[in-house]
Structure 1
């Protein structure tokens, strides 16, 4: 695994769909399947990139890993403004801030290795700790659904210790 780049991102306006789920009852496929038909109807898109966001309960945080903990996942696209929101879609404002950005290569089945590296190896050895903000993946030009050559950016919210 690679050393991440550390980047500060501004607040982002996003339009998409959301579902509450747990890691045990993962509804990611269902969420993206329901979002994709709306993609072309979203006005004021900044790019063709798609964003997958995980919003964890502030009280529970991300510490004390619990696969049954509920969180909200969004399938979304970034927009310049919320004008002309298509019916059936919601809006969400990502807080922005300091992030460690990793590249995940491979299929969703390979994600446990990436997360193990981030949270089990890199984070404990870094001068950062997890911050209680949104986690997200940026699905850009190199993203290919379920393809072993797929690449996506994994953005992990951090703050200096």
Structure 2
């Protein structure tokens, strides 16, 4: 079963600090963080590279927690080359 949530972030970034920051600072919960730049249609290729190439060659193992994305700026168009998405991959 998969769950998807979407929350609009206000300019204060209060939601980001409140929800994500404590978990990221927890020493027992590590994430590899990557930034996808460009069209969202290429996001799947970025994930394929991370899980299929980077992770098998890295010194880390995938943790059982869910990965998640943080959109850095509002998406004006899915094809906008200025799109930025932070990808958080749980590792151990």
CA contact (8 A) 2:40 2:83 kept: no
TM-score, length of structure 2 as denominator length: 0.70
Note the aligned Cα RMSD (angstroms): 2.3
Please give the alpha-carbon distance, in whole angstroms, between the structure 1 residues aligned to 2:47 and 2:32: 13
Render the CA deviation track for 1:78-107: whole Å, top value 9, x for unaligned.
2677xxxxxxxxxxx668220000111112
Please give the alpha-carbon distance, in whole angstroms, between the structure 1 residues aligned to 2:17 and 2:82: 31
Report SS of the residue matched to 1:115. Answer: helix
CA contact (8 A) 2:36 2:46 kept: yes
Shift of 1:132: 1.1
Shift of 1:144: 3.0
| Bigger Rg, which one | 1
Please list every run of 5 or more consecutive structure 2 residues that lacks an aligned counterpart in the other structure.
10-14, 24-28
From the two aligned structures, give the one with the greater helix fraction: 2
Task: Note closer, same or farther for the CA distance 1:102–1:80 as it changes in structure 2 (3 Å cut).
Answer: closer
Please give the alpha-carbon distance, in whole angstroms, between the structure 2 residues aligned to 1:128 and 1:74: 27
Q: Give 1:152's match in structure 2, choosing from 68, 77, 85.
A: 85
TM-score, length of structure 1 as denominator length: 0.42
From the two aligned structures, give the one with the greater strand fraction: 1
Please give the alpha-carbon distance, in whole angstroms, between the structure 2 residues aligned to 1:111 and 1:79: 21
